[in-house]
Structure 1
Amino acid sequence: MICPKCNYKLSVESPSCPQCGIVFQKYFKYHPKLSDHGDFQTPAEAIPPRLTATSNELLTETQPSNPANLIGGLIIIAGLIIWSWQLIGPPIVANAAGNSFLHMVNLPFHEAGHIIFRPFGAFITSLGGTLGQLLMPSICMGVLLLKNRDPFAASVALWWIGENFLDIAPYMNDARSGTLPLLGGNFGHSAPYGFHDWQYLLTESGLLVYDHTLAKMVFAFGSFIMLLALAWSSLWLFKRYQQLKYSNTHNYY
């Protein structure tokens, strides 16, 4: 196997060139490729890389590395680790996620979810707020992973999904007490029935007495997703470090 960019001869088949770092599937998407008959194929005739990538390549594929990208990734991961500790460490009633600036980022998607799911009835409309704030980071993760083929950015979006679960848990935990401030200055204990999403949802489903238990489960699930995202991004960063180290060593010799 010969690299079409630097002509380095690979002894075994590889998704990328250890000499120059190009990813072959991405290269052949935008450059002509020789067919078995010696004719050039247009980029459109090449097999789309999104359809041929293995799960391992999809989750940990790295682009050509440079020290700036490596340092930038380390800074982002360090920031997310510190932020995760600040959000996961306090108890649910502290509402750490709700008091962070990310809550104001999640809130418009929450409110938009109510509007989007309104045609499906009152119950789904109330649930739509929670679905909306989970749907947006999920869409971002899917686009970043499947279209942009950027596993590191997708892992950050996965972290955002987990953070949203931590943002939802205090709201769910407040279903019976209704002490959290809601939009418009209302509180669950004084607002009209149905204004507090989870008070309405758990009452209608007969699960109101389990609000604290369900909130703990949601909080634990969100914490697990955040830690999983950190592990994914760290693995990607380690592979990028290995690629950069191998490339520098090979170029030296």
Structure 2
Amino acid sequence: MECPNCGYERQPQDSHVMEGVCPNCGIAYVKWKARQEELGTAENQATSLEEPDSFIIEPVLPIWKRVLRRLAAEPEKVDSVSFAGQALIYVAFFFWGWSFILGGIDWQGIGGSFLHSVNLPFHEFGHVLFSPFGRFMMFLGGSLFQVLMPLGLMLAFILQRRDNFAASIMLWWSGQNFIDVSPYIADAKYRSLPLIMGMGEESHDWGNLLRMSGTLDKAQSYAQQWFAIGVILMLISFCWGGWLLYRQFQRLREE
């Protein structure tokens, strides 16, 4: 018999040593094996208890579920002060957003808002940014950059800052920019809106865009579509921000 401990194989001249005992290291084969099995069982139990959850392999979720989980993620730490601040911001943007939604495509209400003056520099920069891509894109670039810039900030808040509430406000801002552009589109046929200093009617973005594309008679329809997109984005931002605040409120109650 070969010793399970030291590997010594019992020889005929080892007859003086009791059967079941290793002549080389002196262990009792049966007792040694029982002891090893006992130690192995205890070690396996301890390992299973100490194994962190990160070692548990979860099934791979579909992309849309992973995206929704990321968009619903809450901050690691929630305190009452930051929650109260976010709640006040939410209420302010909620009522401000509804003032744009209920006002419709009205240049006086939209253009008279101070936010129009905030959007204008981004609009003008869009013309410069897209000018290398031709005259059509130069005219379109102002409105295009105006609505895409807040969406870029939204992605930055989601992916880099991991601040979904701030991202929901950026989505609101993109929706407001769609609404901000809608009176400009509706005015394409008439070119009556005041442009920035030094620019005449020939510089009317949407007047030129729709004339170049032969769709000037559809100006009102396009304006309504841009306005509708803005309303939808705002409503999504309301639901998103409200859900995040509700989850934080639940955590605060539990803590």
Return the letter of the residue paired with 1:211. A
What are the ranges of 5 or more consecutive residues in structure 2 without an aligned counterpart? 1-51, 57-64
Q: Any runs of at least 4 consecutive aligned residues in structure 1 with deviations exceeding 6 A, and if so which?
A: none
The equivalent of 1:213 in structure 2 is 221
Identity value in percent: 38
The equivalent of 1:62 in structure 2 is 74
Alignment of 1:110-149 (within 5 A): 110-149=123-162
What are the ranges of 5 or more consecutive residues in structure 1 without an aligned counterpart? 1-11, 14-23, 25-34, 37-52, 248-253
User: Normalized per residue, which structure has more helix?
Assistant: 2
Instruction: Give distance in 1, aligned partners of 2:232 and 2:105.
Output: 15
The CA RMSD measured in Å over matched residues stands at: 2.2
Q: Quick check: 1:202–1:208 contact (8 Å CA) kept in 2?
A: yes
The equivalent of 1:5 in structure 2 is none
The equivalent of 1:40 in structure 2 is none
Q: Say which one has the larger Rg.
A: 2
Q: Quick check: 1:172–1:211 contact (8 Å CA) kept in 2?
A: yes
Question: What is the TM-score with the length of structure 1 in the denominator?
Answer: 0.73
Question: What is the TM-score with the length of structure 2 in the denominator?
Answer: 0.72
Question: Aligned match of 1:157 in 170, 177, 184?
Answer: 170
Shift of 1:177: 1.1
Instruction: Give distance in 2, aligned partners of 1:95 and 1:119.
Output: 33
Instruction: Give distance in 1, aligned partners of 2:238 and 2:181.
Output: 20
Shift of 1:185: 6.1
Question: Aligned match of 2:247 in 239, 246, 250?
Answer: 239
Provide Cα deviations, 1:149-195, integer angstroms capped at 9, x if missing partner.
Answer: 111000000000000000000000000111110011655xxx23xx0
Instruction: Give distance in 1, aligned partners of 2:140 and 2:120.
Output: 14
Provide Cα deviations, 1:198-235, integer angstroms capped at 9, x if missing partner.
Answer: 00001111110010111011101101100110110000
Alignment of 1:13-24 (within 5 A): none
Return the letter of the residue paired with 2:110. A
